[in-house]
Amino acid sequence: MPTHFRRDGDVALLEIDNPPVNALDLQVRSGLQAGLRRAADDPAVKAVVLCGARACFPAGADINEIASGVAFHRPILLELQAQMEALGKPIVAAIEGAALGGGFELALTCHARIGAPEARVGLPEVKLGLIPGGGGTQRFTRLAGPAAALEAITSGTELPAARALSIGLLDAIAADTVRAAVQWARRLAGGAAAPVLARAREDRIAVFEPDLFVSFRAARARAFRGQLAPWRIVDAIEAACTRPAHEGFELERQWYLECRESPQCKALMHVFHAERAARRIADIGPQVAPLPIERGGVVGAGTMGTGIAMCLANAGIEVTLLDVSREAVARGLERIGALYGESVGRGKLTGEQADAARARIRGAVEYATLADVDIAIEAVFEDPALKCQVFERLDRSTPPRAILASNTSTLDIDRLAACTSRPQQVVGTHFFSPAHVMKLMENVRGRASSPQALATVMALARRLGKIAVLAGNADGFIGNRMLQYYGAEAERLLEEGATPEQVDGVIEAFGFAMGPLAMRDLAGNDVGWAIRRNRALPADERWSPILERMAAQGRFGRKSGRGFYLYEGRERRPDPQVLALIQEVSRELGIKRRAIGAEEILARLLHPLINEGAKLLAEGVAARAGDIDVVYIHGYGFPAYKGGPMYWAEREGLAKVIATLEQLAASHGARWRPCARLREAAARGGWESA
C-alpha cells in the first residue's frame, strides 16, 4: 500500500510511501482519504501527523497523471484538502526532503508544518506551465504575504527550511522531524483554542505595498513575456489579497485548468521528461558505476576555466586551477572571488557557502600539482595544437585512473584522445558560458571513451546541478553544429534587407532569451570569426562576409562596446554604421535589399535548426530528438515553454516543415533541402517513431 496508518499514542501517523518521490497518484490519494476517515472516526485519535516514507515528503502531484487526466479521478487533491480542513482534529505536516507542488499544498492545508533542517519546500508548477491548483497560491500568500509569494511561486524556487521558517511557511525546524511533529500535534490537540488554518489567516494579506502588483508586473514583463502561467500566478496572488477567500480559491482553480490545457504546459511536460530521458545512455546500464570524484583539475584560468572551477567547488570537489603564468592564475582567482561576491549579493549563496567553495579552489602553474586528481578538465583556447599539448601533459601528470576531459565546443575528441595513452578515459565536457550559471553540460563520447568514463561525467553533471546530454563526436557536436546554420542565416537575412534589430526582435518575440546577432556580440565576433575560419563548408555554399568585416573593424561585440549594436553597460542601441556596413555588403554581392517580414525571418531561422537536428539524429550524434531540445533550451536560450526546436517542429507538423524547407530550397539553394531523416519522421508521424 502506498500509504500507512500508524499510531503513536493519541496521534495518528499517515505516511505516504510511493517511490521514488512519493507523488500523489490516485492510489495515494485513496489511501489518504481512507486514513483521514479512520482518524476522524477513531475517538482515541486526537491529532494527525502527515509524513513521507524514506525521509521525503511528496514532491507533487503525479506528473504522468496530470498529462493523462487521472489526476482528476476522485478523490482529487481538493477533496482531500476539504476533508483535512473539516477533520476537527489538528493535522501537522512533518516535512523531510522536498515538499513540492501538490505535496507542499497538502502541507499548507495542515494546521502546522515542522521541517527537517535540510528540508526544501516550494511550488514549482510554473516550471511545468501550470499554476498550483490545490490552493497553493492562496495559502502560501496567507501565510507568508504576497511579496514572498510572488517571488517564490512565479519562479518555482525551492526554499530551504531556514528561509521557509523565516517567512512563516514553517512553524519550526527539528532534526527529529516526525517526533517533533507528533509533539506539536499533541500540543495543538490539548490547546484551549482551535488552531488556525492557513485559509483563515488574514494578517499577512491585510497590509502590503499599494503598488506591489503593478510594480511586480512591470519588473517581470520581459522575463514573463509570451508565457501564461507566471501571469496567472500573479493574478491568483493578487486575488488572494483582494477577493474573499472562496473567490480566490475558485479563481486559482479556473486558471489552473486554463494552464493545464495550454500548449505551453504540454511543451514543458515534454521538457521535464526529455531532461530525464537524456540521462539514459542506451548501451550503458546501471551496473556501470561512475568513478568517485573528489579532486579535480581545471587547465586554463580564463572565463570558461574559472567558471568550471566554481562549478566543481560548489559541489564540494577540491579544485586545482592551472594556467601557464602566475599572473593568469591570479587573474582567474580574482575573477572567481568577484563572481562569488556577486553570487552572495544576489542571494544565490550564503557568505559561508561562498567562502567554503572559494577555499576549495587553489591556483597552480605546475602540472605536478595534478598528481592526485580524479578528473582534469581542459579549458584553454580553441586551438587544436595547444589542446593536444595540454592533453599530453595531463596524461603524464595525472594518475592513470583520472578522466581527461575537454571543454572544447567544436574540436575532435578523438584527436585529443590520440595525444594521450588513455583514450578510453578521454571525453568531452562542454560547458556553456557563464559556466557557473548555465545549466547545460554537453558531454561528448569519443570513439574510445569507456562506459565508465561516460557514466562518470554524466553523474558529475548531476552532482554539479547541471542537465547533461551525451553527444557523438562530430564537428560542433549537437549545439554548435545546429547553431552554425542558424547564425549564418541571420547574416543572410541582413544581406537581403533586414536590420539586426529586426532579426533579433523576431527571435526574441518568439521567446528566445537573445537573438542570434546579440548572441554573437556576447560571445565575441572575433571568436565567432576565428571558429568559422576553421570550418569547412560544402562547395556550393559561402559564408556571408559580414562577420569577418565586423571582426576586422574591431567590432568584437559587448567586450569592445560595439558589435552588431552599440553598448552602454547592458543596454544595446542600433548603430547606423553597422547598417551602412551591411548595405555595402549587399551592394557588393549585387543583392537588391527588400523588406523582409517577421514570418519569413522566423521561418528562416528555425528551419535550419530542425533540418540540421534531423541530420544529427540520422548520424547518431544525438540519440533522441528530446536531447536536441534539451541542448537548445538550456544552452542556447530556446524558450522552454515551446518545447525545443524538434518538439516545436512536431507541433507545427513535420509535413508543413518539409513544405517550408522545399519552398526555401527553391529560392535559396540546396542547403534548405529537407533531409531523409526528416522525411522519414514525417511519414511515420513523429521523431521517436521514425
Binding site for ligand COA (CB under 6 A): 20-21, 23, 59-64, 98, 100-102, 124-125, 128, 276
Q: What is the dihedral of CA 510, 511, 515, 521, to 10 degrees?
A: 170
R_g (Cα) of the chain, nearest Å: 28
* Residues 236, 254: Cα–Cα separation, whole Å: 10
Q: How far is the CB of 103 from ligand COA (least distance, A)?
A: 7
C-beta closer to ligand COA: residue 98 or 205? 98
* Residues 343, 347: Cα–Cα separation, whole Å: 6
C-beta closer to ligand COA: residue 276 or 573? 276
Task: Look at the block and give the residue holding cell 524558450.
Answer: 639
Phi, psi torsion values for 91, nearest 5 degrees? -125, 135
CB 120 within 8 A of CB 99: yes
C-alpha cell, 476: 560542433
C-beta closer to ligand COA: residue 313 or 467? 467
Residue 202 burial by Cβ neighbours in a 10 Å radius (0-12, 13-18, 19+): exposed
Q: How far is the CB of 128 from ligand COA (least distance, A)?
A: 6
User: Helix or strand or coil: residue 535?
Assistant: coil
Q: How far is the CB of 24 from ligand COA (least distance, A)?
A: 8
CB 92 within 8 A of CB 110: yes
DSSP structural state of residue 421: S
Q: How far is the CB of 520 from ligand COA (least distance, A)?
A: 34
- Positive or negative, the CA dihedral 230, 232, 236, 242 is positive
Catalytic residue among 15, 105, 238, 252: 105
* Residues 501, 591: Cα–Cα separation, whole Å: 20
Catalytic residue among 15, 96, 125, 508: 125
Q: How far is the CB of 101 from ligand COA (least distance, A)?
A: 2
User: Helix or strand or coil: residue 355?
Assistant: helix
Q: How far is the CB of 507 from ligand COA (least distance, A)?
A: 28
C-beta closer to ligand COA: residue 12 or 464? 464
Residue 105: active-site member: yes
Task: Look at the block and give the residue holding cell 582567474.
Answer: 332
Q: How far is the CB of 78 from ligand COA (least distance, A)?
A: 14
CB 268 within 8 A of CB 641: yes
C-beta closer to ligand COA: residue 23 or 329? 23
Helical axes 654-668 vs 598-618, angle rounded to 10°? 110
Query: Which residues contact residue 527 at a Cβ distance below 8 angstroms, ignoring those fewer than 6 apart?
Result: none
Three-state SS for 183-228 is HHHHHHHHCCCCCCCHHHCCHHHHCCCCCHHHHHHHHHCCCCCCCC
Residue 125: active-site member: yes
Hey, which residues are catalytic here?
A: 105, 125
